[in-house]
Amino acid sequence: MIRLYGKRPFSSRLVIAAVFSALAGSVLYAWIPDPGLYPELSQSTAIFDSRDRLIRLTLNSEDAYRLFVPIEEIPKDMIDATLLYEDRFFYRHPGVNPCSIVRALCNSIILKGRLTGASTITMQTARMRFSLKTTTIPGKIIQILRALQLERHYSKERILEAYFNLAPYGRNIEGIGAAGLIYFGKRPMDLSFPEALSLAVIPQNPSARCPSDKSGYIRMDEARQALFQRYVAVNPSYAKDSGLMSLPLACGSPETIPFKAPHFADYVLASQSVAPSGAVKTSLDLDLQDGIQAILSRHVKRRNNDGIKNAAALLIDTRTMSILSMAGSVDFFNSAISGQVNAATAKRSPGSALKPFVYALALDQGLIHPMTLLKDTPLRYGAYTPENFDGTFQGPLSATQALIRSRNVPALTLAGRLEDPDFYGFLKMAGISKMKDRDFYGLSLVLGGGEVSMIEMSELYAMLANGGVMKGVQFSGESSFSGIRLLSPEACYLVLDMLMKNPSPDQEFADEDKNSMVAWKTGTSWGFRDAWAAGVINDLALVVWVGDFTGAGNPSFVGRNTAGPIFFDILSFLRDRTGALQHPGPDINELNLEEVTVCAVSGGLPNCYTPKTVKTWFIPGVSPITVSTIHRAIAIDVKTGLRACCSGPPYTRDEVFEFWPSDISKIFHEAGIYRPEPPAFMEDCDLEDRDEKGMSPQIISPDSAVTYILRNDGAGGDRVPLEATAENGVKTLYWFADNAYIGQSRPSDIFLWEADAGRFQIRAVDDNGRVAIKTLTVMRE
């Protein structure tokens, strides 16, 4: 044998080459980059109600159904069955099974067929992850390399998780999450054993075994029965499930995916960033949703002849601010009523539904308590003279009655006295969106001149239940936002207590001595375009709207007559949920409230002549408490029956009279209500001799906040209307501009003054010498 000097034997060189190759391969394997398991794979969104019932499943950006499910939520039976069917040695091989590959190559070369089989779970994951064509030898080699790459960077659990989330399950369904929901209406963790075996066999031949059609179901059933036999051979204890396996399965399809609470589902999709899982559990209760939707449909059908075609309702849990039901229209699919418009988010005029918050602010700012006397009488704001819905005025009312009867003048009067914040500022702080500048609204904001959505309305009423803390609604069922305080707990309790005296639509009158435990208010927008009912019961806030999305008016769109019955029908439906009715809002035992006795007529502390008293709540140190002056005793001359200058028995006797302002006396007279008026003073009573402690006049016009622009048109536009009220017994009011006498009038009558341009101090002096003063600014064109 010839030996070449310096040359190593061939076998040694082969060993060295193998060692270097192994080292190089190890280095390459160690440095191979992480490809990612789910790069840029869009997910569907599955929206569930509070009891995990599917509301909506959306297509992803690729028009497929794909819903990520973590491996921890995939049942063990599903995993075991899939591994038994697809890859028994998954936990033993490095991603590639050499024996299976050799067998597949022999079949391909010898039998001249396609290169099929031999794919492990990892290799199948690689094929789906990288969209590989693996029916050729080069494609299979790339698949093997990609499988090794995945095994280098990911655990077996993560690879198996990726398989379940990428596997095809027929048609445009990808991943076990979407497959379980579409075929069986269940999440993977809730699948039964027969259902799990059914899904395990579909990915091997998804087009032929799709169970949504008859032939596909038959082939799927044959495959799962065969898998069941293999499964029992490995796990004999499962033989007991043979009876279950013989039962047919009810399988759904993409066409039968639930499409429930459509307005709510659209709201969720538009309001949030979908979590990586694509599953969103919400606070909605489908039972409540279906029941409320049915009530809306029934009422609209009943009132169809009145032109009522649409209605909406929103129900929230005031404790968590969670949406329990959102019916944005009576029929989502009815294009004739623009049914896909969501009334819950649409901005509409609230009518009088926001008045409770004027009263709440007035309570907090010490302007009223629940029994404070307010006047519902004609009022003038420059050229604007507000009226009530019924075109009448009711005279003196307690604050409670003025609120529940929804009288406009008392609300406007209170709103005009609010400051820091005023009503506009309050609504801005409450987050009411798209509000215009303050000057745009003026006083009309109190009467529905602005716009709110049903969601914003529900947030405001929930704030009353939450003791003045403003929070936004949400749909996840858990609230982490602490909110901002806009009202005191005491004011909220009192307003709710006032609203609970509002009678239901089937009651004609309120009983002030009883509370219905339903604190509610209605609203009717200008032109009869919107009808509202909103309120609080226990820990729920409910808002109902009736109207037309075109903005057309309808005399039937009256809050109390149209939205009110729906409101109370829904409350009846909710009775099982609400349980025993309780006073909504803060616990009174934790509030700074005291109960006092007041005059039943004036709301002031009773004097010795007060004939009737009632109990009311007041906020110590805040609420206005003064002695009533309505009932007063005066000295009457026994001979003439006139008022004496002073009391002096036996020549005089004391009689008690009611002293009302002239505008209220006028309403009593028009209504045919007799109120004895005090007689005039005796002729020899000079002003300085009169013992008079009554009310001073109140100037209604002019308005100091208005600049009066006069025209020389000869049609009355060149004069300023002066008007004031005075109490009973006053016959004449004397008007002065600065120190100049300009004329006289009877109380509540209008005196027209031809004023020059300038700024004047206007005084009204009654015939008892009492004075009221206002400032007047005049410009001339």
**247-284 pLDDT, tens digit each:** 999 999 999 999 999 999 999 999 865 454 589 999 99
pLDDT for residue 544 is more than 50: yes
Asked whether residue 294 carries a pLDDT value surpassing 50, the answer given is yes
Does residue 13 carry a pLDDT above 80?
no
pLDDT of residue 388: 82
What is the pLDDT, as a whole number, of residue 3? 46
pLDDT, position 19: 57
Q: How far apart are CA 410 and CA 413, in angstroms?
A: 5
Question: What's the whole-number mean pLDDT along residues 216-233?
Answer: 95
Integer Cα distance of 431 and 15 in angstroms: 79
Whether the predicted pLDDT of 635 surpasses 50:
yes
Contact 386, 408 (CB under 8 A): yes
Share of the chain above pLDDT 90, in %: 65
Cβ proximity of 299 and 569 under 8 Å: yes
pLDDT of residue 4: 42
pLDDT confidence bin for 516, thresholds 50/70/90:
confident
What is the rounded average pLDDT of the residues 90-99? Answer: 88
Among 719, 678, 709, 693, residue whose Cα is nearest residue 777: 709
**561 vs 565: CA distance, rounded Å:** 7
Give counts: helices (H), strands (E), the chain.
22, 26
**In contact, 684 and 659? CB cutoff 8 Å:** no
Quote the Cα angle for 777-778-779, to 5°.
130
Quick one: pLDDT band at residue 769, thresholds 50, 70, 90? confident
Q: 99 to each of 119, 120, 144, how far by Cα in Å? A: 11, 11, 13
Q: Which residues contact 478 (CB under 8 A, 6 or more apart)?
A: 320, 322
Q: Reply yes or no on whether the pLDDT at 509 is more than 80.
A: no
**Does the pLDDT of residue 330 top 90, yes or no?**
yes
- CA dist., res. 154 & res. 157, Å (int): 8
H or E segment to which residue 751 belongs: strand 751-753
Average pLDDT of the residues in 749-762: 92
d(CA 711, CA 667) in angstroms, rounded, equals 33
Please state, in angstroms and rounded to a whole number, the distance separating the CA atoms of residues 263 and 253: 23
Identify which has the larger pLDDT, 330 or 684. Answer: 330
pTM of this prediction? 0.86
pLDDT at 714 > cutoff 60: no
Residue 421: asked if its preceding bond is cis (omega within 30°), the reply is yes
pLDDT > 70? residue 16: no
Q: Higher pLDDT residue, 10 or 762?
A: 762
First-last CA distance in the chain = 133
Question: For 388-397, which contacts have Cβ atoms below 8 Å and span 24 or more sequence positions?
Answer: 389/352, 389/524, 393/667, 394/667, 395/664, 395/667, 395/668, 395/671, 396/601, 396/602, 396/660, 396/664, 397/373
CA distance 522 to 533: 4
Q: Would you place residue 104 in the very low, low, confident or very high pLDDT band (cuts 50, 70, 90)?
A: low
Q: What integer best gives the mean pLDDT of the chain?
A: 88
589 pLDDT more than 70: yes
Checking if the pLDDT of 131 tops 60, the result is: yes
The closest of 168, 479, 470, 520 to 323, measured between CA atoms, is: 479
Read off the pLDDT of each residue in 463-488 and give the average, rounded to a whole number. Answer: 89
**Distance of alpha carbon 225 from alpha carbon 247, whole angstroms:** 11
pLDDT per residue over 25-77, tens digit each? 555 655 678 888 887 788 999 999 999 999 999 999 899 999 999 999 999 99
pLDDT of residue 439: 87
Rounded average pLDDT over 194-214: 95
Task: Please state, for a pLDDT cut of 70, what percent of the chain lies above it.
Answer: 89
Q: Which pLDDT score, from 0 to 100, does residue 1 have?
A: 42
Q: Which helix (H) or strand (E) holds 776?
A: strand 771-780
Q: What is the pLDDT of residues 717-729, one digit of tens each?
A: 578 899 999 988 8
Residue type, 297: S
